[in-house]
Structure 1
């Protein structure tokens, strides 16, 4: 019998055709994810799964997938997958580590500029009734500003690459395990108190959940622009909302949200309403990797990992973090 392959989101035709050459493929037409019951039904006799950002795999999921051999994640961070449970079930997990780096770094810069230069308010103003230039919507540029990057993994370093071309007054770095000669390395508290912009490219670990909280934001530089393209739960969204309301933060921009960290049972079920209502926020729907050629490359790489595992070979991007007890294992800094 041909192996049964479950794909939880729609994929490019050439990727689908590649998978159909070797197996029977069941694909969610999307874009809405399957319900838990639907996913369990499809996994009942599945040999392989191609997973995407909205997916969560834990011990309960694996109990409904007795034949599953491999999960090929078409994404970079794997904090929504219980790697220990997968290892115990004999299910290999692979991910795509590098292809998301450049587009995510680009988006970080775009969000920073959009938030600091009042791009959304300007767009509304022009569409409403534009009669020419007026002395309004004055913002802050990257040129001549102090900018901190928190998390110096691949995405953090790619953000620094781009910032070097903007004429920033000073670049700061925060990472206990990383360094960059282009940056002055400081503590998180120092970065928050000194910087005009702080860009978060931090992985979700037990120790980084709510890294940005009420206590840290007490010492924030007045009017600072905070950008999060790492993981939603690195930020306490309620604390950020309070800092925006009292003026400590000048703006908040994000591509990731607490509600998306599916393995956290106590996560919020929606983006904090006060953030959505605040005029000094800019949000995108987790589109860090949403570049057409990048998404195709990610799917092709995930398909290659999946097919290698089905053939009995080791996937190119096999996840080696199965041994960790922390339900939020060490992740690449990602968006």
Structure 2
């Protein structure tokens, strides 16, 4: 087998910090997106023709068609943890490594989940709006909400983020239920203070339900009208994972009917670019329910030091492959090109 071609040119599809850029520029020629808005698919495809490596972001969709336009591509290094917009099998068939950054997002995502839950049940946004009207003249018996203390909180998904959420809930004297395809060990359940329950049983008992699942065909619209009917009436729902875990239209209807007490989200269906028939906007009915919702613009990883660390680790995945090593974040083993040439770590 011929030796793999060297990595000479790296395509960076989103804005990065200077230290990430400088690290890569010390080794490679760069093609960079220097604007806040992502490149279109056509712009990425045109630039990929001359790229050997790609530093990608969640706004990108990697599929067989795009890979066919990139004959020299050896690695897609995602500055991300969730890779539902990236076709792993297509990368493998094309001889392209796919690498992610699995760990840096855990703590900030869990923090935000708990923060959104507190903000939602304590009606923080509604209180802020009231103050800004200029008509606040002191305490009144209004905006009564709920509390996390003593509540039953269900966590759907007990991976790294789900476990980090459970850890952060430990000080609230809450009853923590969880559901996952692979239940934790008894030792781990005791350490986290949580109890397994099937999904429908969990949501029927929970005052607050938090979603920490990956987006897969099995979890797409996991929370829809039929599942919402099994919720405890007036329960709160928090989604920091992927927008399409819920059907936003159905959530809006449940809120209007009083079946759901509130919905907080950092992620939205329109962001799941790999789903062709996804909504192109957030449901207007959902946006109109300002007193029952709390939304943030995908801030789960929006911590300056965390974003920098994610970018740098993604860059190191490229550098490691260029040096003949297996990228630390690799989630596949390419079928051809350099697959047999790279020494294991």
1:239 alignment partner in structure 2: 250
Give the distance between the partners of 2:288 and 2:216, measured in 1 at CA: 29
Aligned match for 1:229, one of 227, 232, 240: 240
TM-score, normalisation: structure 1: 0.93
Structure 1 residues 138-182: Cα deviation after superposition (integer angstroms, max 9, x where no partner): 1101001111111000000000000011122x1111113122232
Give the distance between the partners of 1:272 and 1:188, measured in 2 at CA: 26
1:7 alignment partner in structure 2: 12
Asked if 1:256 is matched to 2:267, the reply is yes
Q: Contact (CA 8 Å) 1:56, 1:263: kept in 2 or not? A: yes
Asked if 1:317 is matched to 2:323, the reply is no
Structure 1 residues 170-201: Cα deviation after superposition (integer angstroms, max 9, x where no partner): 11111131222321211111122111100000
Aligned match for 1:297, one of 300, 305, 309: 309
Structure 1 residues 69-95: Cα deviation after superposition (integer angstroms, max 9, x where no partner): 101000001110011111111110000
Give the distance between the partners of 1:195 and 1:2, measured in 2 at CA: 51
Asked if 1:171 is matched to 2:182, the reply is no
Q: Contact (CA 8 Å) 1:153, 1:178: kept in 2 or not? A: no
1:330 alignment partner in structure 2: none
2:167 alignment partner in structure 1: 161
Q: Contact (CA 8 Å) 2:244, 2:268: kept in 1 or not? A: yes
List runs of 5+ in structure 1 lacking aligned partners: 324-335
Aligned length: 322
Aligned match for 1:102, one of 95, 99, 107: 107
Aligned match for 1:138, one of 130, 133, 144: 144
List runs of 5+ in structure 2 lacking aligned partners: 1-5, 336-345
Q: Contact (CA 8 Å) 1:259, 1:268: kept in 2 or not? A: yes
1:62 alignment partner in structure 2: 67
Q: Contact (CA 8 Å) 1:116, 1:140: kept in 2 or not? A: yes
CA shift at 1:321, angstroms? 8.1
Greater C-alpha radius of gyration: 2
Give the distance between the partners of 1:184 and 1:94, measured in 2 at CA: 33
Aligned match for 2:50, one of 45, 48, 71: 45
Q: Contact (CA 8 Å) 1:9, 1:29: kept in 2 or not? A: yes
Q: Pick which of 19-28 and 170-179 moved more.
A: 170-179
Give the distance between the partners of 2:284 and 2:179, measured in 1 at CA: 29
CA shift at 1:55, angstroms? 0.7
Give the distance between the partners of 1:73 and 1:103, measured in 2 at CA: 18
Q: Contact (CA 8 Å) 1:8, 1:34: kept in 2 or not? A: yes
CA shift at 1:322, angstroms? 7.5
1:332 alignment partner in structure 2: none
CA shift at 1:50, angstroms? 0.2
Q: Mapping of 1:116-155 within 5 angstroms?
A: 116-129=121-134, 130-155=136-161
C-alpha change, 1:321 and 1:288, in structure 2 (3 Å) is farther
Q: Contact (CA 8 Å) 1:83, 1:322: kept in 2 or not? A: no
Higher normalized contact order (CA 8 Å, seq sep 6+, divided by chain length): 1
Q: Contact (CA 8 Å) 1:114, 1:120: kept in 2 or not? A: yes
